[in-house]
């Protein structure tokens, strides 16, 4: 008889809520295995044990070997897994996450499929960035113009404050090191913010692809959502890192660490969960896992019932 090894699979109610978890952990050039309810991470510097239930998203960079047992634990614990390129610059794949309810994604699909409701959500996003202004009658073109002016002003003010020269935002997707220090710091900071935004979106059961401002990409909503926090978090941190006199070659790593600290200290995940539900008009809804059968006439029907033609109202 086969015996189970390690801790039992937890129920969803036993797992840490998304907003209570550590934001993200980036690993590269390491071997990952499982011991009981912990992910064992081993590299040339030693071995550490990471409790699977407290991490929101695990970013796996180049040189990572991971066992089947480790992936089994990650899946059971509802941890997001994102396979990324060097320094976390690109996302290549991801795994299933915590919430198994379709509530938010159905709400999101309904809102994005109607022009009026889609524009209303977009206005909400801009209103969150300009709390003292009225956006109820602005078009998308007018909203984009105000946001562009705001971000340019943020860049100018931070350049003056930190002494970091600024001309424009530019970077090469395929060559991180070809950018200026500030552009490399911005890339690293934004990617960390995208990773956390992605983690919250999919962990709550929404779609990263159904954007309201951005469109046509499988991460459109991630870019929408992350834009809410760039001027407050990732852009100031990038300028701060670029202003330091440390080794420029390490600026990507230093920026990611600074972003991690900001995520924890600022309790950003709590805000993200609240903001996401606010945007999708689901603030008071509970995401409970339930599987039913859709019916065009009678509404939701029970799953797991053997229906007959008589039950379906046939003559």
Residue 147 marked as a ligand binder: yes
d(C-alpha 188, C-alpha 251), whole Å? 8
d(C-alpha 105, C-alpha 98), whole Å? 14
DSSP code per residue over 224-269: HHHTTTIIIIIHHHHHHHHHS-S-GGGHHHHHHHHHHHHHHHTTHH
d(C-alpha 294, C-alpha 24), whole Å? 37
245-275 per-residue burial string, b: 16 or more CB within 10 A, e: under 16:
eeeeeebbebbbebbbebbeeeebbeebbeb
d(C-alpha 301, C-alpha 290), whole Å? 11
Residue 20 marked as a ligand binder: no
List all residues 6 or more positions away from 286 whose beta carbon is below 8 Å from its beta carbon.
none
d(C-alpha 277, C-alpha 274), whole Å? 5
- Binding site for Mn(2+): residue ranges? 147, 214, 227
- What residues form the annotated binding site? 147, 214, 227
């Amino acid at each position: 008889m086969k015996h189970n090894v390690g801790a039992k699979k937890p129920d969803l109610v036993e797992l840490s809520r998304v907003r209570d978890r550590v934001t993200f952990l980036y690993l590269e050039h390491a071997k990952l295995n499982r011991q009981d309810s912990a992910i064992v991470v081993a590299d040339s510097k030693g071995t550490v044990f990471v409790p699977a239930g407290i991490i929101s998203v695990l970013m796996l960079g180049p040189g990572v070997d991971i066992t089947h047992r480790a992936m089994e634990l990650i899946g059971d614990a509802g941890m997001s897994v994102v396979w990324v390129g060097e320094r976390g610059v690109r996302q290549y794949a991801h795994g299933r996450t915590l919430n198994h309810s379709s509530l938010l994604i159905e709400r999101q699909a309904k809102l994005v499929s109607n022009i009026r409701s889609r524009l209303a959500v977009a206005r909400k996003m801009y209103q969150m960035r300009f709390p003292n202004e009225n956006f109820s009658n602005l078009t998308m073109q007018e909203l984009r113009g105000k946001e562009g002016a705001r971000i340019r002003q943020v860049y100018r003010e931070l350049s003056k404050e930190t002494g970091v020269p600024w001309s424009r935002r530019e970077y090469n997707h395929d060559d991180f090191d070809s950018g200026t220090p500030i552009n490399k710091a911005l890339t690293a900071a934004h990617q960390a913010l995208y990773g956390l935004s992605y983690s919250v979106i999919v962990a709550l059961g929404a779609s990263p692809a159904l954007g309201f401002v951005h469109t046509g990409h499988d991460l459109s909503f991630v870019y929408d959502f992350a834009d809410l926090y760039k001027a407050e978090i990732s852009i100031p941190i990038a300028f701060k890192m670029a202003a330091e006199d440390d080794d420029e070659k390490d600026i990507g790593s230093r920026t990611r660490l600074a972003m991690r600290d900001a995520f924890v200290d600022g309790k950003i995940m709590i805000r993200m969960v609240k903001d996401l539900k606010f945007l999708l008009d689901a603030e008071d809804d509970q995401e409970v896992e339930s599987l039913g059968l859709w019916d065009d006439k009678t509404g939701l029907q029970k799953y797991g019932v053997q229906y007959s033609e008589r039950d379906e109202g046939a003559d």
